Structure 1
């Protein structure tokens, strides 16, 4: 069977990822860049043999391990797709370099640092200033509900029900999940909605239209951290999401529940948080295991 050229094959591969796996726009763009970059190095990907792919290991030798693993994974999936479609009779993907990147541990904020951050935000909000009320709502939802930065800034008014303590969140790959909103976060959110400028469809609108940007959220959070006496380099929306997960796990949350709350498709992604609570896990085994109780 005669297959398409590189451009057609890549377009078909990306269409499959979007339709069958729900790949997000950013993920598709990254795959397109990786495949195009490989093609620039070795020529036609559709026609490439194992010797050509082996050359990529040398060309990529200076890349960070995570970047190398991502590029190789994109190509392996691409060649698997070509074989499945009958556009190639062999899969040369085994010639690609294999390197499992070490997963970086999330930066953490202590309970004391969280307390300092929220004490300042609450004091600011106590003045009734709309900007301060918005800031309190933002950090309450980051730390209290574990939202991703994009999920937070793009949160639609329609996703905030009046009579249920849940938000309807559209996460990566367009997957929807219900996220509980605690009493503190709910109170902060209601306080902001009372003074929120009219118009628009987002909970956190931008004066220029649309919604608050991720960059602006990052800036606001670092400014708050600096005024609270914290190292602003340690504080970001993602760090507050990590703190949400870490502190819930410390409090006894089940890993599967945490997976659902965070919107992780794979439990392996959630398991990165288990390193932060090793002492509790050891104590749990010592207290609950039948043989431990007998001894």
Structure 2
């Protein structure tokens, strides 16, 4: 890898706090491009344009990711004075369509919680833990990895907010509903103290935390018991439901971006497609021409 590409990765780690997986992906993309056309800091536009042919067998989403990595590198190279031009225009621009997220209907969410509440009423610690987990997934929109790794210290004492460490080591505050707070209090009253663990949801027999795989299995099993197809239920689906249902309720997109911990508003904007029916109804009801047509 060229010194310029290495310096770019160092910048991502130091200034943007990029996660290890993100840095590894950028490294692969930069190394692959330099193997094909040489030092990117000195590559001509003609050579950069050849990447379209080299990447022709890849999926549009893969090409888009690689091109994005190189665009960011070229912007960095111009800022550093290594290039006089930004040759990003020579990169391919595939129309990669991002799939819409799966979501749960309000009825399915209600059924899931009714079953979880019934089971928690038994007083079994595992059932109480299960209720606390889904309350935080749906009530606060946490990622599975964020949820299972929550430390005990993240639980709010007075303020109804939870401190979450998200992607790239970025901390954010998310609200905790009264329902979730009650479920958490109930869980803390039965949470095992052995083995000693600093995690809110410790694993059995170890000092670590509940795994994402186990969380995934728990939700699938709960969905089956609630009469819902398990194939359509996962921690990420509950996170999507949180976002979509908030948007339906009138939440601002920027607020939603903050709650979800998205670095780019474009990631959050996908939920506007899911909520298209509400937007159409809003135009039909509120647009001045709609009122004019009704009165004619």
Q: Same fold (TM over 0.5)?
A: yes
Structural mapping, 1:188-203, within 5 Å: 188-198=183-193, 199-203=196-200
Deviations along 1:112-141, one digit per CA (max 9) or x if unpaired, are 221222222222222222222111111110
Residue 24 (str. 1) matches residue 19 (str. 2): yes
TM-score between both structures, scaled by the size of structure 2: 0.88
Correspondent of 2:109 among 114, 137, 146: 114
* Structure 1 range deviating more: 93-102 or 149-158: 93-102
Distance in 1, Cα, partners of 2:140 & 2:83: 47
Query: How large is the RMSD of aligned CA atoms in angstroms?
Result: 2.2
Match of 1:126 in 2: 121
Match of 2:237 in 1: 239
Residue 269 (str. 1) matches residue 253 (str. 2): no
* Change in CA separation of 1:290 and 1:212 when aligned onto 2, cut-off 3 Å: same
Structural mapping, 1:208-247, within 5 Å: 208-247=206-245
Distance in 2, Cα, partners of 1:292 & 1:82: 51
Correspondent of 1:74 among 60, 69, 74: 69
* Change in CA separation of 1:139 and 1:45 when aligned onto 2, cut-off 3 Å: same
Partner of 1:179, secondary structure, is: strand
Partner of 1:164, secondary structure, is: coil
- Segments of 5+ residues of structure 1 without an aligned counterpart are 1-5
TM-score between both structures, scaled by the size of structure 1: 0.89
Deviations along 1:258-280, one digit per CA (max 9) or x if unpaired, are 22222223333222212233333
- Segments of 5+ residues of structure 2 without an aligned counterpart are none
* Change in CA separation of 1:281 and 1:47 when aligned onto 2, cut-off 3 Å: closer
Match of 1:41 in 2: 36
Structural mapping, 1:147-162, within 5 Å: 147-162=142-157
